[in-house]
Amino acid sequence: MSGTSATTQSAKMKKDESFLGKLGGTLARKKKAKEVSDLHEEGKNAINAPMLPTGTDIHPEDTLLEENAERIMLDPTSRESLKFKDLLKVLIDWINSELEEDRIIVKDLEEDCYDGQVLQKLFEKLSGRKLNVAEVTQSEIGQKQKLQTVLEAVNELLRPHGWTIEWNVDSIHSKNLVSIVYLLVALAMHFQAPIRLPEHVSVQVVVVKRDAFDTLLDHAPDKLNVVKTSLITFVNKHLNKLNLEVTELESQFADGVYLVLLMGLLEDYFVPLYNFFLTPESFEQKVHNVAFAFELMQDGGLKKPKARPEDVVNLNLKSTLRVLYNLFTNYKNSD
């Protein structure tokens, strides 16, 4: 991809004081504020196709994050640095040497380490400890369970010796090369592997932070109607049971009535009319209704909405979208 985002993105460099520094090198973190939305396919998942920043070669799957979540990824330029490539080769050769008896050949750290199989065998060989895990598992759940067991054993071993834990199940399973390298370097150094790790390895990482609805409204107005249509279809599927229909999201949910009724339909109960204002007239009554709907959502096991009731009442589209998309995510398969 081409572009000039390197000059327009705000970047902050800081020295990382974790164990890569012990190699005689540094990990320089270049934080780039990246807002990514994910609009993938109409009706099924209205917010699922990432908007990628120009100038950075990042795979779409790397940006599929939960709202306001972060992911740390290796900057594409660092991936091509000779010293980093040398580090990867040293680690791969070391793993293959250790696991030669198991007839395991690693060619790519991201593709070969993410499911826990190689990490399990490597840890068992280095520690002399057999882990109680399934030998082969194809399902994502099974792979993550194996990773959980392996990483717990690794962390229990390394943490007392002062290692900073820079990896977790999700980062390894999502093929985050930064996390995988951190983990392997820690194991190599702890077990005093007979290898020479390259010195002064300096890489940059991109911190991708996503606020889908900010990005949607600011940078993808053409996709806004796709989202609205999907949410309207979802809410009408349920409100139609009461002979109610929504055609405009901001205004028709602003008084909280439809939100309350929708929660009753989704959770399959009748909401007593004395609990809310069926025909609210004042701002306070509308806020009461929306706040009550939020309470019903939490009673149903949902997290407290990030939006304020007042913002929904004030016809704030982003706040209304957040609330409705949260319901869509949790109840899209409900009849």
* pLDDT tens for the 335 residues of the chain, in order: 333 333 233 333 333 333 344 333 333 333 333 322 333 244 333 344 333 333 334 343 343 344 555 666 777 788 888 899 999 999 999 999 999 998 999 999 999 999 999 999 999 999 999 998 887 777 888 899 999 999 999 999 999 988 888 899 988 998 989 899 999 999 999 999 999 988 888 777 776 666 666 666 666 666 778 888 889 999 999 999 999 999 998 899 999 999 999 999 999 999 999 999 999 999 999 999 999 999 999 998 888 888 899 999 999 988 999 899 889 888 887 77
Q: What single DSSP character describes residue 116?
A: S
Percent helix, strand, coil in the chain (nearest 5)?
55, 10, 40
Enumerate domains of the chain plus CATH numbers. 72-210 (1.10.418.10), 216-332 (1.10.418.10)
CA distance 246 to 232: 6
- Residue-level pLDDT at 220: 65
Dihedral in degrees, nearest 10, Cα atoms 185, 190, 192, 198: 30
Give the C-alpha separation, 135 to 123, whole Å. 14
Return the residue matching tokens 């806020």. Answer: 287
Q: Helix axis angle, 221-239 relative to 317-331, nearest 10°?
A: 50
Distance between CA 29 and CA 202 in Å, rounded? 9
Per the CB < 8 A criterion, the answer to whether 197 and 23 are in contact is yes
Which strands sit side by side in the sheet containing 70-74, from one edge to the other?
A: 11-15, 27-32, 203-209, 70-74
- Give residue for tokens 């699922």: 48
Distance CA 335, CA 331 (A): 9
Q: What is the pTM of this model?
A: 0.49
d(CA 36, CA 51): 5
Please give the structure tokens belonging to residue 169: 């199940």
